[in-house]
Chains A and B, each alone.
Chain A
Amino acid sequence: MEILVCVKRVPDTAENEIEVAGDGSDIERDDLVYSVNEWDNYAVEEAIQIVDKVGGSVTVISVGDEEAEEVVRREMAMGANHGILLSDDAFEGSDGKGIATLLKAAVDKGNYDLILTGALADDGAGQIGGMLAAMLDVPYASVVNSIETLDDKKLKVGREIEGGNQEMSEIDLPCVLSIQTGINEPRYVGIRGIRKVASVEIPVWGAADLGLAADSMGAAGARVKRLDYFLPELGEGAEILEGSMEEVAEKLIDLLKAKGGIK
């Protein structure tokens, strides 16, 4: 099976507190640690496991600047066979549909049976997979937490739905699936793995390579535009307990006892 996995380089929220920059035009990016979007990492692991079982190859693709190349390379160190970087100044300011348009053009240059994305990324929209599937006119399933290959024409997939339940469906190939975290246990990537792929050439495709019109991408094509960042209003907010660790613990115990929290 030929599998394409779409990945994004994002600030790692486990490693960073996200702060709004002074004028609200952006978040503070100076000291941010970036990594591959967590959901995408699960998607790459899943693709590798499928190929290990049924054969084929895994290609990882990302839209971004040259720094996005490092996440493509990292996922290749995990075991993906090929990498592609979509990069061009003309892509700047693309909205979700713009990103999906770029990916669709790249998919059309290949011959993929299965396309995976993460179910969500840093912007919380969860939109690329569904848009890409609709553009390609192939079936889609979101928040997928299990994949079983039935034959070379279809898969059995589980979607994580409300209440911890799982919705099982059969889906025809080719298709697009967005992957939920927890579907597998992504393998560790050591420094040795990174070194092995350090000199692998990763092709970079721009607008001309994809044959796209200027108004279909970038800021020019965007109908949804982020205007600013701001801190959510605090509302009432919690009463923050102050004092030494011991004092805070004692205050908290009194409160918990009053509310029936300590039996």
Chain B
Amino acid sequence: MTGQVFAYIRHKEGKADDSAQELAVAAGKIFPDASPTAIVSGAGSDLDAVCSEVAAAYKEVWKFDNEALAYPNAEAIRKLLVNVLPQDAVVLVAHDTFGMDLSPGLSIKLDSVFISDVVAFDGLEGDTLKVIRQEFSGQVSTHSSCDISAGAVINIRPGVFQVEESGAAADGQVVDKSGDIPDLTVGRRFLEVVEAEVGDVDITKEDVLVSVGRGIEDEDNIEIADELAEAMGAVVSCSRPIVDAKWLEKSRQVGTSGQTVKPKVYLALGISGSFQHLGGLKGNPYIVAVNKNPKAPIFQVADVGVVQDLLEFVPVLTEKIQESK
């Protein structure tokens, strides 16, 4: 029998992150009878608001209130969790930049397994949990078996475990565990958050985006996308590799590490469609994907696909649009 199930809740400005509910859904997929405990850490009055909100989805909420937890520094939170969790705990964490920071080290300190970026669960037999993950930027999926007899830290991909129906509220109780907080002095001290620079265009406000990815191959080819965008009356955005290569400004990047956009129409040129990129695409846009690789994950989420080399196809498309005007 495996240990108690916990979910570490992220929150900001007095509101729980969307992943709070998703972790409860994920816990239910592993242990249908589990009653996971939510862990909420922070400082001040915002924390109480988050705890009450979370208590609607979890029967028990552990609250840790301390000035040293005011900013979620994973180094300090790891120290907290190692102190307050049972060794064989099964801990669920959202796989975002915080979860990536916290979880691998937490699993070592708890001497349990770490399972990263899980997209689905495929059954629990005894202590063996089967999970589905993705490799090679989502090009292939894998089944893995994990021995969770000594506990587990499981990172859940955000946005995958959606709440299916709003069942009865858990009406959970909030337990103030602040008295159990150990010394939280750590070797990494938070200084500040530097906000993203505002660029020449605000892609978050555009209805139509022509977005370029690695398939554009060369900086000089960005021009092809510029011309298409001009013909369509759209604006050019991009995926991460284009910004890494310094071909476009960071403010043009769509994705979890860039901007969250809500266009009506999204034309993805040579973008493979990693979950980090798609995480920045909201509001259910009409997605057109142009990619020479028919197996690119982008075709799974697109409405319409064109399996062509964008360097050949896009100039033809631009010309036809110009002719049609």
- A residues near B (Cβ < 8 Å) are 11, 13-14, 17-20, 27, 95-97, 100, 119, 122-131, 133-135, 138-143, 156, 158-172, 175, 181-182, 185, 223-232, 234-235, 237-241, 245-246, 248-250, 252-253, 255-256, 259-263
Cα distance, A118 to B289, chains bound together (Å): 29
Chain B residue, CB-CB nearest to A120: B100
Chain B contact residues, majority secondary structure: mixed
A144 to chain B, nearest CB (A): 10
In B182-224, which residues have CB < 8 Å from any A CB? Answer: 186-196, 207-208, 214
Pick from B136, B193, B286, B307: contact of A240, CB under 8 Å: B307
Q: What are 20 sample pairs from A and B whose C-beta atoms fall under 8 A apart?
A: A119-B100, A125-B116, A125-B117, A126-B100, A130-B108, A134-B106, A134-B109, A142-B101, A165-B196, A224-B114, A225-B145, A227-B142, A230-B141, A232-B140, A238-B301, A238-B302, A246-B316, A256-B267, A259-B264, A262-B208
Cα distance, A129 to B104, chains bound together (Å): 8
Known: A124-B135, A161-B193, A167-B193. A261 touches B316 (CB 8 A): no
Chain A residue numbers with a CB within 8 Å of B305 are: 237-241
A14 and B232 form a contact (CB under 8 A): no
B303 and A238 form a contact (CB under 8 A): yes
Stretch at the interface among B22-30, B55-63, B160-168, B245-253: B245-253
Question: B260 an interface residue at 8 Å Cβ cutoff?
Answer: yes
Chain A residue numbers with a CB within 8 Å of B265 are: 256, 259-261
Cα distance, A181 to B186, chains bound together (Å): 26
Considering only CB atoms and an 8 Å cut-off, how many residues of chain B contact the other chain? 99
Q: Which of A13, A169, A223, A248 has the most CB of B within 10 A?
A: A223
In B267-325, which residues have CB < 8 Å from any A CB? Answer: 267, 272, 286-289, 293-295, 297, 299-308, 312-313, 316-317, 320-321, 324
Total A-B residue contacts, Cβ distance less than 8 Å: 274
A172 and B134 form a contact (CB under 8 A): no
A223 and B250 form a contact (CB under 8 A): no
B187 and A172 form a contact (CB under 8 A): yes
Cα distance, A253 to B306, chains bound together (Å): 12
A182 and B243 form a contact (CB under 8 A): yes
B240 to chain A, nearest CB (A): 7
Chain A residue numbers with a CB within 8 Å of B256 are: 162
B144 and A227 form a contact (CB under 8 A): yes
Chain B residue numbers with a CB within 8 Å of A241 are: 304-306
B104 and A130 form a contact (CB under 8 A): yes
B140 and A18 form a contact (CB under 8 A): yes
Q: Which 7 A-B pairs have the closest CB atoms?
A: A130-B104, A263-B233, A164-B196, A139-B187, A238-B305, A261-B265, A134-B105
Pick from A141, A228, A234, A261: contact of B267, CB under 8 Å: A261
New A-B contacts (8) at CB < 8 Å, excluding given A171-B189, A249-B320, A261-B267: A124-B137, A128-B104, A134-B105, A141-B188, A223-B146, A240-B307, A241-B305, A263-B208
A171 and B288 form a contact (CB under 8 A): no
In B45-78, which residues have CB < 8 Å from any A CB? Answer: 73-75, 78
